[in-house]
Structure 1
Amino acid sequence: MSSATAVLADSYGRVRESVLHVTRGLTADQLSYRVDGEANSIAWLIWHLTRVQDDHVADAMGAEQVWTARGFAQDFGLPFPPSATGYGQSADEVAAVQGVSVDQLVAYHEAVCARTLEFIAILSDDDLDRVIDTSWDPPVTLAVRLVSVIADDLQHVGQAAFIRGVTERL
């Protein structure tokens, strides 16, 4: 493993640790709590950050997403098409993420993290330089996409930690 892929693996491992920490012991009410009617819930944030990671890594691999391949889409029973990642969802759609347990969220995140780490382990520095999205200027390399997902994941897990703190003070 190169130093670049080692840093990526460490970063995704930190996201995983943060997801486990922020979800540990949460009640159903805490998972679905929203600061106001326009805000995200912890359940939605963890689902969304994992969906985006799954979507982007599967795309980079040219593989089916864990969400559908392993039956998580069916198990979660959310009222969205299997392709939904949460991007651009309305407040009503955020509110629809109900009845999802900590165990489900963690199992899905663990499966996506494991796949992400397996993928990163086989990458070379040349792989990281590969352009995977030409719709941006400059075009997006695999390295940039993987770092972008880490940044997004950490922002969302931080938001979930904030909401957890709010629920613990109610």
Structure 2
Amino acid sequence: MKSNELLLDAFGRISETVATTLEGVDDESLIRRPAGSGNSIAWLIWHLSRVEDAQVASAAGLDQVWTSQGYVGRFGLPLPERDTGYGHSTEKVDAVQAPPELLLEYYDAVHRQTVGFLKTLGDQDFDRIVDTRWDPPVTLGVRLVSTIADCLQHVGQAAYAKGLNRENGQGSGRP
């Protein structure tokens, strides 16, 4: 198996879990914050999508899907255009609201761009330096693994929040 095939599998797992997590979730459950101050499902899915979009686009020399495909306008969030959610205050977390269909559509578009890029890579590409702001400088391989780790954590948190909502009888489709 080639390195890019492993990465395709890992990013594919994020994609599958995003879709499963958003399946059957109502708007109220999307914005509910665990314990009143945790990150909402909507924020977590939006944030992981923004992280993958920003990190992969930068490493690949591509435009972010967020801006190039008009998602920034479709979401209409009261946030700066390049915002990815790092360091968000509670008010900014609350500001991220979108229907599950739009969240999934955006993630799917990001995932398609990621897959298209990964398919072009050979093993020799993963040693290319993509960020010199760190010591040691960050290689493409390290950046992609870091992105996977971050996105898997956030989609796991979103799935957990969905489970909490269902456990508490919220957002389960019950009368």
Interval of TM-score (by shorter of Structure 1 and Structure 2): over 0.9
Q: In the alignment, which of 140, 143, 152 is matched to residue 141 of structure 2?
A: 143
| Partner residue, 1:154 | 152
* Alignment of 1:120 onto 2:135: no
| Partner residue, 2:172 | none
The one-character-per-residue Cα deviations of 1:46-71 (angstroms, maximum 9, x if unpaired) are: 00000010001110121210001111
Which amino acid in 2 is paired with 1:119?
A: F
Which amino acid in 2 is paired with 1:64?
A: D
| Partner residue, 1:89 | 88
| Partner residue, 1:131 | 129
Greater displacement, 30-39 / 113-122:
30-39
2:43–2:96 CA contact under 8 A, matched in 1: yes
Give me the whole-angstrom Cα distance separating, in 2, the residues matched to 1:97 and 1:12: 23
Once superposed, which parts of structure 1, at least 4 consecutive aligned residues long, lie more than 3 Å away?
Answer: none
Which amino acid in 2 is paired with 1:10?
A: D
What SS does the corresponding residue of 2:34 show, helix, strand or coil?
coil
Give the C-alpha shift of residue 36 in structure 1: 3.1
Which amino acid in 2 is paired with 1:49?
A: L
Which amino acid in 2 is paired with 1:111?
A: A
| Partner residue, 1:166 | 164
1:9–1:117 CA contact under 8 A, matched in 2: yes
Normalised TM-score (structure 1): 0.96
Identity percentage of aligned residues:
49
Give the C-alpha shift of residue 125 in structure 1: 1.4
Give the C-alpha shift of residue 84 in structure 1: 0.2
| Partner residue, 2:173 | none
Gaps of 5+ in 1: none
Gaps of 5+ in 2: 169-175
Residue pairs, 1:11-26, within 5 angstroms: 11-26=10-25
Q: When the two structures are aligned, how many residues end up with a matched partner?
A: 168
Which amino acid in 1 is paired with 2:88?
A: Q
RMSD, aligned CA = 0.9
What SS does the corresponding residue of 1:36 show, helix, strand or coil?
helix
